[in-house]
A and B are shown apart, each in its own frame.
Chain A
Amino acid sequence: AQSVAQPEDQVNVAEGNPLTVKCTYSVSGNPYLFWYVQYPNRGLQFLLKYITGDNLVKGSYGFEAEFNKSQTSFHLKKPSALVSDSALYFCAVRDGDTGGFKTIFGAGTRLFVKA
């Protein structure tokens, strides 16, 4: 069965500092991993995904994530946080081997960037 864990309910960071939002996953097959962001009263927006290839994936708004197979992690990072990055971030996983349509989302991590 697939599962995703986002161990932090909230991450606080000062503007200009690097940020990390953590995600670990569990799938029986090959993991396809996604990050989405949700701004208040909006739907989720895609940020980036890892399917195969380079473990470091770059996405929208300067975000990147590193796939680490041995640690089953896919942490979201940004070198320099902006106040406008404050939002709810969701990690998600699909089992690539089953070819299924089911995406499992983590519980979300709220990011606060302080000016």
Chain B
Amino acid sequence: QVQLVQSGAEVKKPGASVKVSCKTSGYTFTRNYMHWVRQAPGQGLEWMGVINPSGDSKNYAQKFQDRVTMTRDTSTSTDYLEVSSLRSEDTAVYYCARDHSDSSGWWFDPWGQGTLVTVSS
């Protein structure tokens, strides 16, 4: 079955960077876009951006344009999200979610289990 397995929790200091991985299995990696979504403690879901199947095109939410980099390694079927210049407000659970689309529109399924990133001095 399709699985997205994310890397473990991270604790970082303000100003540092973090790189979260999302290893996929059970489908052809290069057929689907991948989205990243985050959720601060007690808050709602926030879309961060999307990377295309070949990894050469990304579209980031305006809020994250300057600090987020999405990449993928097609040889290992793994996606990566790097967030730089971390601040306390970046403390959140970060999710990867596989994109689907057809005439019905777009949807995310499945999701990774989430990676908690804590930013604290």
A and B form one complex: no
